Amino acid sequence: MTQQTISLILYFVVFGGIMYFFMIRPQQKQAKKRQALLSSIRVRDQIITTGGVYGKITKVKDHSVMLLIAEKVEIEVAKSGIISVENREIDLEKAN
């Protein structure tokens, strides 16, 4: 192998490492935190959906939740549509 080939291979290895630590790894950590958030939701949690709807969870299903948005007004929202839980801190230590 020539010096030029070794330099090129080293360049790609370093570039791959930089891509992993600045792009792939943070995205994986964020996905784990989101999964922890969605798996820890429970009845009476105050949540916000991606559409900006605020409400209180009245029932948790496999892939959706029933959300009380006004007195006697309930809607069903997909769990993937939940962006945050407002009334408590989610323990994300398990996700790291």
Domain harbouring 84, CATH code: 2.30.30.100
pLDDT at residue 1 tops 90: no
Measure CA 69 to chain center: 23
Which residue reads 């790894």 in tokens? Answer: 25
pLDDT at residue 93 tops 70: no
pLDDT of residue 94: 46
Range of the domain at 34: 3-95
Q: What is the mean pLDDT of residues 72-85?
A: 94
CA distances, 20 to each of 7, 11, 25, 28 (Å): 20, 14, 6, 10
Quickly count helices (H) and strands (E) in the chain. Answer: 2, 5
d(CA 32, CA 26): 10
pLDDT of residue 26: 93
pLDDT of residue 95: 43
Q: Check if the beta carbon of residue 68 is closer than 8 Å to that of residue 84.
A: no
Q: How many structural domains are present in the chain?
A: 1
pLDDT of residue 96: 46
